[in-house]
Amino acid sequence: MSELNFPIDATVRLVGGKWKCAILCHLSEDSRRTGELRRLLGGVSQKVLTEQLRELERDGLIARTVYAEVPPRVEYRLTELGDTLRPVIDAMCAWGAFYLEGPAAGV
Protein backbone atom coordinates (compact mmCIF):
# COMPACT_ATOMS: atom_id res chain seq x y z
CA MET A 1 0.00 0.00 0.00
CA SER A 2 3.00 2.28 -0.22
CA GLU A 3 1.75 3.96 -3.42
CA LEU A 4 -1.50 5.12 -1.88
CA ASN A 5 -1.62 8.91 -1.70
CA PHE A 6 -5.20 9.49 -0.60
CA PRO A 7 -7.56 7.53 1.66
CA ILE A 8 -9.90 6.89 -1.26
CA ASP A 9 -7.03 5.09 -3.04
CA ALA A 10 -7.08 2.44 -0.30
CA THR A 11 -10.81 1.95 -0.69
CA VAL A 12 -10.63 1.70 -4.48
CA ARG A 13 -7.72 -0.75 -4.29
CA LEU A 14 -9.60 -3.00 -1.87
CA VAL A 15 -13.02 -2.99 -3.56
CA GLY A 16 -12.04 -2.13 -7.13
CA GLY A 17 -12.45 -4.59 -9.92
CA LYS A 18 -15.46 -5.70 -11.86
CA TRP A 19 -16.86 -8.12 -9.27
CA LYS A 20 -15.65 -7.17 -5.78
CA CYS A 21 -18.40 -4.66 -4.95
CA ALA A 22 -21.07 -7.05 -6.17
CA ILE A 23 -19.56 -9.88 -4.11
CA LEU A 24 -19.50 -7.67 -1.02
CA CYS A 25 -23.08 -6.58 -1.69
CA HIS A 26 -24.31 -10.18 -1.81
CA LEU A 27 -22.29 -11.15 1.26
CA SER A 28 -23.74 -8.20 3.17
CA GLU A 29 -27.13 -9.96 2.93
CA ASP A 30 -25.96 -13.40 4.13
CA SER A 31 -23.12 -15.89 3.91
CA ARG A 32 -22.91 -17.53 0.49
CA ARG A 33 -21.42 -20.58 -1.15
CA THR A 34 -19.21 -20.17 -4.23
CA GLY A 35 -21.78 -21.62 -6.62
CA GLU A 36 -24.49 -19.38 -5.21
CA LEU A 37 -22.31 -16.31 -5.69
CA ARG A 38 -21.53 -17.34 -9.24
CA ARG A 39 -25.25 -17.66 -10.05
CA LEU A 40 -26.06 -14.33 -8.39
CA LEU A 41 -23.30 -12.51 -10.26
CA GLY A 42 -24.06 -13.99 -13.67
CA GLY A 43 -21.28 -13.85 -16.23
CA VAL A 44 -18.30 -14.27 -13.92
CA SER A 45 -16.00 -17.19 -14.66
CA GLN A 46 -15.07 -19.61 -11.87
CA LYS A 47 -11.41 -18.56 -12.21
CA VAL A 48 -12.14 -14.85 -11.82
CA LEU A 49 -14.58 -15.42 -8.96
CA THR A 50 -11.99 -17.51 -7.12
CA GLU A 51 -9.33 -14.82 -7.65
CA GLN A 52 -11.63 -12.04 -6.41
CA LEU A 53 -12.67 -14.09 -3.35
CA ARG A 54 -9.03 -14.83 -2.51
CA GLU A 55 -8.11 -11.14 -2.77
CA LEU A 56 -11.03 -10.10 -0.55
CA GLU A 57 -10.05 -12.79 1.95
CA ARG A 58 -6.37 -11.77 1.84
CA ASP A 59 -7.37 -8.16 2.53
CA GLY A 60 -9.46 -9.22 5.54
CA LEU A 61 -12.84 -8.18 4.11
CA ILE A 62 -14.34 -11.67 3.89
CA ALA A 63 -13.81 -14.96 5.70
CA ARG A 64 -13.90 -18.44 4.20
CA THR A 65 -15.29 -21.33 6.22
CA VAL A 66 -14.76 -24.93 5.12
CA TYR A 67 -17.15 -27.49 6.58
CA ALA A 68 -15.90 -31.07 6.97
CA GLU A 69 -18.69 -32.69 5.01
CA VAL A 70 -18.86 -34.94 1.99
CA PRO A 71 -18.84 -33.23 -0.41
CA PRO A 72 -16.97 -30.37 1.28
CA ARG A 73 -18.97 -27.18 1.74
CA VAL A 74 -17.31 -23.75 1.62
CA GLU A 75 -19.05 -20.54 2.64
CA TYR A 76 -17.96 -16.92 2.53
CA ARG A 77 -19.12 -14.13 4.81
CA LEU A 78 -18.15 -10.57 5.63
CA THR A 79 -15.64 -10.09 8.43
CA GLU A 80 -16.07 -7.32 11.00
CA LEU A 81 -13.81 -5.17 8.81
CA GLY A 82 -15.82 -6.07 5.70
CA ASP A 83 -19.04 -5.22 7.52
CA THR A 84 -17.75 -1.66 8.00
CA LEU A 85 -18.00 -1.30 4.19
CA ARG A 86 -21.76 -1.85 4.29
CA PRO A 87 -22.61 1.90 4.32
CA VAL A 88 -20.14 2.49 1.46
CA ILE A 89 -21.65 -0.30 -0.66
CA ASP A 90 -25.19 0.88 0.15
CA ALA A 91 -24.28 4.44 -0.86
CA MET A 92 -22.72 3.23 -4.10
CA CYS A 93 -25.86 1.20 -4.92
CA ALA A 94 -28.11 4.18 -4.16
CA TRP A 95 -26.00 6.52 -6.28
CA GLY A 96 -25.91 4.00 -9.13
CA ALA A 97 -29.72 3.73 -9.06
CA PHE A 98 -29.99 7.54 -9.07
CA TYR A 99 -27.60 7.76 -12.01
CA LEU A 100 -29.35 5.06 -14.03
CA GLU A 101 -32.77 6.62 -13.44
CA GLY A 102 -31.65 10.22 -13.96
CA PRO A 103 -28.57 11.44 -15.80
CA ALA A 104 -27.81 8.15 -17.55
CA ALA A 105 -31.43 7.55 -18.58
CA GLY A 106 -31.11 10.08 -21.38
CA VAL A 107 -27.83 8.69 -22.69
The helix-helix angle for 20-29 and 7-15 (nearest 10°) equals: 80
Residues 80-99 have pLDDT tens digits of 999 999 999 999 989 988 99
Model confidence pLDDT, tens digit, residues 62-85: 999 999 988 889 999 999 999 999
Whole-structure pTM value: 0.85
What is the model's pLDDT at position 2? 58
H or E element in which residue 37 lies? helix 34-41
Q: Tell me the C-alpha to C-alpha distance, in Å, between residue 105 and each of 50, 59, 88, 89, 91.
A: 34, 36, 24, 22, 19
Cβ atoms of residues 47 and 72 within 8 Å: no
